[in-house]
Amino acid sequence: MNARLLAVKTLAPLLCDSGALKYSLQRHLLDCPENQKPLLQQICYGSMRYYPQLICIINKLVNKPLKTKDADIQALLLIGIYQLFKLRIPEHAAISETVEICKSLNKPWATSLVNATLRNFQRKQSALVEQLLSDNSFKYNHPQWFIEKLKHNWPDQWQAILTANDLHPPLTLRTNLNKVSRETLLKKLQQQEIAAKKTEFSIYGITLEKPTDVNTLEGFSAGEFSVQDEAAQLAAQLVDPKPGETILDACSAPGGKLLHMLELSPDKTTTFKGLELEPHRAERIIENFQRVQLDCELYVGDATNREWWDGKLFDKILLDAPCSATGVIRRNPDIKLLRKSEDIHSIAKVQKAILENLWGLLKNKGRIIYATCSIFPQENEKIISSFIRDHDDARHIKIDAQWGSRREHGRQLFPSADAHDGFYYAIIEKSSD
Ligand SMILES: C[S@@+](CC[C@H](N)C(=O)[O-])C[C@H]1O[C@@H](n2cnc3c(N)ncnc32)[C@H](O)[C@@H]1O
C-alpha cells in the first residue's frame, strides 16, 4: 500500500456520496507506511480543497464521464491533476507513480486514459487555466450553487469568505482553567519552542503558529488543554452555567462544548446532561471525558423527540444544531464535494424540529443558546426569527460582544484567516408571563 493508492481508496467512496473525508482517511492511515502518511494526508485534503477546480479540468480533458463503478479511476485523475497543478512533486514522478496505480486497482484498461489525461494537462495547463477562468466555479474554487447563495446572502462579504475557506485553518487550544492559567500554558508552550499567541475573543484560547501533534505537547494527556476553535469556545460563556442549574447539551458529540462547560463549573453544583443521536459519536464524548477526568450523565437519543427525557425541566439548553458546516469548510474541504444546495432546506427542517421539541423541556425563564457552524441565514437567523414570531413565550436576548456581526437576531461570525471559524449564536428566553 502506498500513499497514492490509499488516497484513491480514501476518496473514491466520497465521489459516490458515501462517508466523509475525516473518517475515510482515519481508516486508511492505519495501512499507510509512517513515512508516507504526510503525503497521503496532503493529497487527500488538497484534492478536496481544490475539488471544484480539479473537476473543471477533468471535465475538459476527459470526453466521456466515467461510470460510478469507476469512481476509483476518477479519484486517481483527481489526485494526479492535483499533484501536477498544486504540488511541487517532480512531474515525471507524479505522472508515472499515479498511472502505475491502475494496475493495483486491477484496471489496466485505465492506464492509457490516466496517462493521456495527465500528460495532456501538463502540455495544455496555461491555456486551459486561462480558458477556465471564465467559469466562476473554477475561478473561486467553490461549487457554483455555493457561490450564488453566498453572493445572495452576503453581498459585501462573499469574496472574503471564499478566500478564507481556502486557507489552512489554525490550530487553536482551549485552556482548562481548572488545571492551568492561559499565561502558564503559553509559557509551557514557549519552553517547548512552540510559537503561540492568545486568541482575540475567547479568554481561554491559544492559537499555535504551526500545526503540531497535540499528543506530543506537555499537559495534553493530563487534560490541561483541548483542541477547539475560538468561535466554538464562545459557547460556554454564552451558556454561563450557574450553581444549582440543570443544563442540557442537546447535540453533544464529540463533547467539546460540554467539556468546556464542565471545566467552568468545578464545584459540581451545576448538573449537566448530554444528548447525542449517534452511539458511535457518543463514545467519542466518553473518551474525551476520560482525558480531562470529568463526566456527566449522557443520553443516546434523538433531540426531535422526548423518548430519552426523564421529565425534569432544564434551566438552560445548548443547542449546537446539526448544520451544513459551511463555516468550517477550511477544516472539512470535502464539504465542497458532498454538500448540495438542497441540503440546506432539509437541514433547516431538522433544526426547526429540534428547537421546537426542546422548547417544551425548558423551565419558565430558561434559555436556549442556539449555535451552528453554518454561514447561511436559513440555518441561523431565519430559524430564530421565525421561531420568535411563532412563539408568544419566546424572547430574543441580545448578545453584547466584540466578536462577529450583530444580526436582528443573534450574531454571525465568518471564517477568518489565522483566527476563528464561521459560527452563529443566538439566545432565546422563555417567558410565559
Ligand atoms: C455540531 S455537532 C455538535 C458538536 C458538539 N456540540 C461539540 O462541541 O463538540 C452536532 C451533533 O449533533 C448530533 N445530532 C444530529 N442530529 C441529532 C438529533 N436529532 N438529536 C441529537 N443529536 C443529533 C450529531 O450526531 C452531531 O454529533
State pLDDT tens for residues 246-304. 999 999 999 999 999 999 997 889 999 999 999 999 999 999 999 888 899 999 999 99
CA-closest residue to ligand 1 atom 10: 322
Same-domain check for residues 235 and 329:
yes
pLDDT of residue 338: 97
Same-domain check for residues 183 and 134:
no
Same-domain check for residues 132 and 187:
no
Core vs surface per residue 76-94: b (16+ CB within 10 A) or e: bbbbbbbbbbbeebeeeeb
Q: Is residue 107 within 8 Å of 70, Cβ to Cβ?
A: yes
Among candidate residues 188, 208, 227, the one where a domain is terminated:
227
**CATH number of domain containing 100:** 1.10.940.10
Q: Does 152 map to a domain? A: no
Contacts of residue 158, defined as CB under 8 A and 6 or more positions apart, other chains included, come to: 147, 150, 151
Which ligand 1 atom is nearest residue 281's CA?
Answer: 27
Instruction: Tell me the average pLDDT of the chain.
Output: 96
Q: Is the CB of 254 under 6 A from ligand 1?
A: yes
Q: What is the mean pLDDT of residues 216-240?
A: 96
**CATH number of domain containing 350:** 3.40.50.150
pLDDT of residue 89: 86
**Residue of 277, 306, 343, 369 to test ligand 1 pocket, by largest number of atoms within 8 Å of CB:** 277
373 a catalytic residue: yes
Same-domain check for residues 204 and 246:
no
Enclosing domain of residue 372: 230-430
Same-domain check for residues 109 and 246:
no
Residue 5 has pLDDT above 90, yes or no: yes
Q: Is residue 301 within 8 Å of 278, Cβ to Cβ?
A: no
Q: Does 345 map to a domain? A: yes
Among candidate residues 227, 262, 296, the one where a domain is terminated:
227
For the chain, the domain total comes to: 3
Q: Is the CB of 351 under 6 A from ligand 1?
A: no
Q: Is residue 251 within 8 Å of 275, Cβ to Cβ?
A: yes
The closest of 410, 229, 206, 392 to 319, measured between CA atoms, is: 410
Among candidate residues 141, 158, 191, the one where a domain is terminated:
141
Same-domain check for residues 251 and 212:
no
Give the cell for residue 311: 421529565
C-alpha span between 94 and 85 (Å, rounded): 10
Q: Is residue 8 within 8 Å of 79, Cβ to Cβ?
A: yes
Residue 1 has pLDDT above 80, yes or no: no
pLDDT of residue 292: 87
Which ligand 1 atom is nearest residue 350's CA?
Answer: 19
Same-domain check for residues 253 and 271:
yes
Beta-carbon count within 10 A of 232 CB:
23
Same-domain check for residues 246 and 340:
yes
Q: Does 361 map to a domain? A: yes
Rounded to the nearest angstrom, the gap between the alpha carbon of residue 422 and the centroid of all alpha carbons in its chain is 9
Q: What is the mean pLDDT of residues 28-40?
A: 96
Same-domain check for residues 27 and 134:
yes
- In the reported structure, the alpha carbon of residue 56 is separated from the centroid of ligand 1 by a whole-number distance in angstroms of 34
Same-domain check for residues 270 and 220:
no
C-alpha span between 140 and 163 (Å, rounded): 8
**Residue of 172, 174, 276, 380 to test ligand 1 pocket, by largest number of atoms within 8 Å of CB:** 276
pLDDT of residue 127: 97
Catalytic residue among 102, 251, 323, 373: 373
Same-domain check for residues 223 and 292:
no
Same-domain check for residues 370 and 305:
yes
- In the reported structure, the alpha carbon of residue 275 is separated from the centroid of ligand 1 by a whole-number distance in angstroms of 8
Task: Dump pLDDT digits (tens) for 65-103.
Answer: 999 999 999 999 999 999 999 998 888 889 999 999 999
Task: Dump pLDDT digits (tens) for 359-395.
Answer: 999 999 999 999 999 999 999 999 999 999 999 999 9
Q: Does 421 map to a domain? A: yes
Strand 246-249 with 314-320, pairing: parallel
Q: What's the per-residue H, E or C state across 34-73? A: HHHHHHHHHHHHHHHHCHHHHHHHHHHHCCCCCCHHHHHH
DSSP 224: S
**CATH number of domain containing 219:** 3.30.70.1170
Q: Does 161 map to a domain? A: no
The closest of 211, 228, 166 to 38, measured between CA atoms, is: 211
pLDDT of residue 418: 86
Contacts of residue 360, defined as CB under 8 A and 6 or more positions apart, other chains included, come to: 306
Residue 433 has pLDDT above 90, yes or no: no
Beta-carbon count within 10 A of 342 CB:
9
Q: Is the CB of 281 under 6 A from ligand 1?
A: yes
Q: Does 166 map to a domain? A: no
Contacts of residue 147, defined as CB under 8 A and 6 or more positions apart, other chains included, come to: 136, 137, 140, 158, 162
Q: Does 151 map to a domain? A: no
Q: What is the mean pLDDT of residues 133-151?
A: 98
Residue 148 has pLDDT above 80, yes or no: yes
Q: Does 411 map to a domain? A: yes
C-alpha span between 375 and 322 (Å, rounded): 13
- In the reported structure, the alpha carbon of residue 299 is separated from the centroid of ligand 1 by a whole-number distance in angstroms of 12
Task: Dump pLDDT digits (tens) for 190-203.
Answer: 999 999 999 999 99
Q: Is the CB of 358 under 6 A from ligand 1?
A: no
pLDDT of residue 432: 80
**Residue of 251, 299, 346, 423 to test ligand 1 pocket, by largest number of atoms within 8 Å of CB:** 251
The closest of 321, 309, 310, 429 to 374, measured between CA atoms, is: 321
